[in-house]
């Protein structure tokens, strides 16, 4: 029965599992590239002099950190997209529970779906990872981090690592995403599938508050430490704030979205409808806002460190270390951007019935597109507000100790690029599913929903 449920879900929720496959593809690509880089720089045939040069630049340590970071972010991204995909199946799961399906059958079917979507992506990601690793290796040679005489070698170790990470993270993410809902009584499951879950979990609220309080406490403690100590602890502050934002997503996104919506709600009926949609469905939209917050917070923090140093001292640091830092920032931001884009696209695809009803009551396609664009603007603006606040709290102790001023310096074009990139991602992830949905007749969409 579980295999049949998995096949039916893959056919009936193609957009959701396409998003999971894309997330797994990117994760496998980065994991494969990191594994190949670690193997290439630590091969036995590398000359001793080259090993000493790479050790002086901490190349091996950087490869290990990037590999561990990519594995951790793979879990985050796949779990995020898989959670949204499973949420879209709550109605089907509730019906199955009502006719006698056991919780373990729901969980096993979900894990099978996740593995079926992840294995082909992991294989393709391993191939793309080799291409990325070669370009990455060439950049390290060009910036003097790796001696020119060290050859690049592909390692087949990347293949089992990619498959292992993809299969394990996908299966675990599927089990976790379905575990609570599968254990509900059939009547409660049907009610929650129809109305949605409004309250936060018993542990989610106190853990989220504890994470935010911990971020504030650590930030204040670091403000009294030396510059090096403050810099080392900054990542912990960023992590605590991001974890707290993720756990408290609906509670934080609602007020922040209301603030942003107040600014754009005066731009016509489409903007006002978008404002009401986001603020009334904060739990649904928070799943997309939180990954965007991570993109803004992490990217702004890392970029502002270098731009502020260059503005204050005339140098952002050693060219090779700065380049590698930006590469890592780009990879981490890519993980969060894919999670946000996938979630927004799946949320929009899930609402195809609502969009069809709008068209039946007289809304024109351009009005529906305008509403979706304003929703994307609210989501992007909310992420910018929360992400910038987290970045400022993270940077303050470091910058105060290093330069005597807690405020960062970010050039106008750089700030515009961050804001524009966030908005563009939200517009593309929202606009493409809406465009595809508007190509079908509203009556056909309602009949198929």
The pLDDT score that the predictor gives to residue 10 is 47
Percent of the chain with pLDDT over 90: 5
Specify whether 286 is located in the same domain as 179.
no
pLDDT digits (tens, 9 = 90+) for 194-235: 555 555 566 778 888 888 888 888 887 877 766 566 666 777
Residue 375 has pLDDT above 60, yes or no: yes
Q: Are 88 and 346 in contact (CB under 8 A)?
A: yes
Q: What's the CA gap between 105 and 82, in Å, rounded? A: 17
Q: What is the domain range of residue 241?
A: 199-449
More confidently predicted of 447 and 318: 318
Enumerate the H helices of 156-203 as residue ranges: 158-182, 186-195
The angle subtended at Cα 121 by Cα 117 and Cα 123, nearest 5°, is 130
Specify whether 164 is located in the same domain as 243.
no
DSSP state of 361: T
Q: Are 426 and 248 in contact (CB under 8 A)?
A: no
Q: What's the CA gap between 300 and 306, in Å, rounded? A: 10
According to the per-residue pLDDT averaged within each range, which of 250-254, 262-266, 411-415 is highest?
411-415
pLDDT digits (tens, 9 = 90+) for 431-443: 888 887 777 776 7
Q: Are 360 and 368 in contact (CB under 8 A)?
A: no
pLDDT digits (tens, 9 = 90+) for 19-75: 777 878 888 888 888 888 888 777 666 777 777 777 777 777 777 777 777 777 777
Specify whether 193 is located in the same domain as 251.
no
Q: Give the pLDDT mean for 241-252.
A: 77
The angle subtended at Cα 201 by Cα 199 and Cα 207, nearest 5°, is 120
- For 1, the token pair is 């029965």
Three-class secondary structure of residue 197 per DSSP: coil
pLDDT interval class at 447 (50, 70, 90)? low
More confidently predicted of 394 and 281: 394
Mean per-residue pLDDT of the chain: 77
Specify whether 186 is located in the same domain as 221.
no
The pLDDT score that the predictor gives to residue 413 is 93
Specify whether 206 is located in the same domain as 337.
yes
Q: Count up the domains in the chain and report the number.
A: 2
Specify whether 276 is located in the same domain as 396.
yes
Q: Which of 197, 218, 246 is the last residue of a domain?
A: 197
Residue 410 has pLDDT above 50, yes or no: yes
Residue 416 has pLDDT above 90, yes or no: yes
Specify whether 95 is located in the same domain as 231.
no
Q: Give how far the C-alpha of residue 47 lies from the chain's centroid of Cα atoms, to the nearest Å.
A: 40
Specify whether 190 is located in the same domain as 235.
no
- For helices 249-264 and 282-313, give the axis angle rounded to 10 degrees: 80
The pLDDT score that the predictor gives to residue 201 is 63
The pLDDT score that the predictor gives to residue 411 is 92
The pLDDT score that the predictor gives to residue 12 is 54
Q: What's the CA gap between 229 and 222, in Å, rounded? A: 7
More confidently predicted of 29 and 90: 29
Q: Are 74 and 20 in contact (CB under 8 A)?
A: no
Specify whether 204 is located in the same domain as 193.
no
pLDDT digits (tens, 9 = 90+) for 285-309: 777 777 788 888 888 988 898 899 8
Q: Are 68 and 39 in contact (CB under 8 A)?
A: no
List of residues 6+ apart from 13 with CB closer than 8 A: 85, 88, 89
pLDDT digits (tens, 9 = 90+) for 116-151: 878 888 889 889 988 988 888 888 888 888 888 778
């Amino acid at each position: 029965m579980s295999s049949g449920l998995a096949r039916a879900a893959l056919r009936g929720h193609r957009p959701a599992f396409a998003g999971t496959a894309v997330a797994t593809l990117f994760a496998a690509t980065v994991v494969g590239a990191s594994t190949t880089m670690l193997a290439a720089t630590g091969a036995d045939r590398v000359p001793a002099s080259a090993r000493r040069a790479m050790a002086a630049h901490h190349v091996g340590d950087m490869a290990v950190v990037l590999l561990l970071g990519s594995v951790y972010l793979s879990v985050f991204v796949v779990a995020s997209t898989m959670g949204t995909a499973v949420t879209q199946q709550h109605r089907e799961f509730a019906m199955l529970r009502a006719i006698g399906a056991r919780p373990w059958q729901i969980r096993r079917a979900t894990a099978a779906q996740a593995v079926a979507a992840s294995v082909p992506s992991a294989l393709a990601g391993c191939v793309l990872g080799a291409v990325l690793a070669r370009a990455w290796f060439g950049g390290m040679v060009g910036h003097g981090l790796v001696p020119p005489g060290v050859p690049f070698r592909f390692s087949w170790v990347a293949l089992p690592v990619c498959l292992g990470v993809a299969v394990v993270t996908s299966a675990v993410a599927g089990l976790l995403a379905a575990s609570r809902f599968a254990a509900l009584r059939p009547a409660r499951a049907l009610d929650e599938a129809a109305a949605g879950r409004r309250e936060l979990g018993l542990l989610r609220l106190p853990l989220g508050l504890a994470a935010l309080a911990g971020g504030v406490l650590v930030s204040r403690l670091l403000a009294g430490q030396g510059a090096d100590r403050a810099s080392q602890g900054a990542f912990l502050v960023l992590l605590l704030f991001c974890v707290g934002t993720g756990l408290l997503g609906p509670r934080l996104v609602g007020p922040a979205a209301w603030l942003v919506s107040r600014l754009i709600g005066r731009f016509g009926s489409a903007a006002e409808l978008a404002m009401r949609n986001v603020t009334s469905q904060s739990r649904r939209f928070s799943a997309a806002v939180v990954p965007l917050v991570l993109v803004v917070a992490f990217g702004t923090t890392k970029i502002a460190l270098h731009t502020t140093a260059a503005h204050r001292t005339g140098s952002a640091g050693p060219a090779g270390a700065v380049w590698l830092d930006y590469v890592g920032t780009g990879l981490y931001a890519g993980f969060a951007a894919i999670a946000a884009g996938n979630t927004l696209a799946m949320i929009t695809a899930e609402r195809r019935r609502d969009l069809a009803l709008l068209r039946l009551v007289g809304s024109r396609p351009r009005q529906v597109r305008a509403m979706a664009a304003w929703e994307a603007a609210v989501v992007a603006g909310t992420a910018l507000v929360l992400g910038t606040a987290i970045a400022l709290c993270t940077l303050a102790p470091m910058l105060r100790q290093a330069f005597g001023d807690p405020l960062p310096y970010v050039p106008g074009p750089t700030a515009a690029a961050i804001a524009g990139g966030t908005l563009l991602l939200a517009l593309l992830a929202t606009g493409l599913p809406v465009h595809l949905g508007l190509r079908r007749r509203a009556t056909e969409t309602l009949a198929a929903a």
